Chain A
Amino acid sequence: DAGVTQSPTHLIKTRGQQVTLRCSPKSGHDTVSWYQQALGQGPQFIFQYYEEEERQRGNFPDRFSGHQFPNYSSELNVNALLLGDSALYLCASSGDRGPSYEQYFGPGTRLTVT
């Protein structure tokens, strides 16, 4: 049973560019959440997708957008990259969007913006 997978593992982009990160949830999971983790901080919630719709959003600008596909996989898109977008981006899946369900995390994508 494959766990949560993310691609790519590492990525280097230039300010102003756009980036797309990908996530495949654990088998049987239909809810995907995206987090940004800066060095020395806890993960910051970006948004959650359920039934192909964005159900909840954290305090991130509209430059951050996403999508969920019918097979529950998800993409995170960031436009007009800033140096401050450099971080580890984590994807997590769960069997339900409710708070009692533990989240299963992928290995993350390390984004460096130069």
Chain B
Amino acid sequence: ILNVEQSPQSLHVQEGDSTNFTCSFPSSNFYALHWYRWETAKSPEALFVMTLNGDEKKKGRISATLNTKEGYSYLYIKGSQPEDSATYLCAFFMDSNYQLIWGAGTKLIIKP
């Protein structure tokens, strides 16, 4: 059974603080790792698609790193803002298996 684990399950962060959370996935047969942001009452929105070990991607104040050998990815948010409040989901794409396996998400709440 393939498992994608995300931690923590939820996180309260003060506005202006930086934060990060983790996505763990099987290290064998890696193909791609996706990060999505899901705001309440909206559709999930893609943040990053990462395919190479050591890859780092950035979009504004949000960045992500990827370690395929040990099977983890970190998502970082610098200077959290209220609009960052959302559930952040990661999904793992295994080689030759055309389906995304999803974690349960990290729910981020930014306190003003």
Binding site for B on A (CB under 8 A): 3-4, 33, 35, 40-45, 48, 55-56, 58, 90, 92, 97-108
CA distance A90 to B102 in the complex (A): 13
A103 to B45, CA, bound (A): 8
Known: A3-B43, A99-B51. 16 other contacts (CB 8 A): A4-B43, A33-B100, A41-B104, A42-B89, A42-B103, A42-B104, A43-B100, A48-B98, A56-B97, A58-B99, A99-B31, A99-B100, A100-B51, A103-B34, A104-B46, A105-B44
Q: With A105-B44, A107-B42 as given contacts, are A45 and B49 in contact (CB-CB < 8 Å)?
A: no
Q: Shortest distance in angstroms between B103's beta carbon and chain A's nearest beta carbon?
A: 5
How many residues of B are counted as interface, with CB atoms below 8 angstroms from the partner's CB atoms?
24
Which residues of A lie under 8 Å from residue B46 when comparing CB positions? 102-104
- Give the CA-CA distance A48 to B34 in the complex, in Å: 17
Complex Cα spacing A101 to B48, Å: 10
Q: Please name 28 pairs of A and B residues whose Cβ atoms are closer than 8 Å in the assembled complex, sorted by A.
A: A33-B99, A33-B100, A42-B89, A42-B102, A42-B103, A42-B104, A43-B44, A43-B89, A43-B91, A45-B99, A45-B101, A45-B102, A56-B97, A58-B99, A90-B43, A90-B44, A92-B44, A99-B93, A99-B98, A99-B100, A100-B49, A103-B46, A103-B100, A105-B36, A105-B44, A107-B42, A107-B43, A108-B43
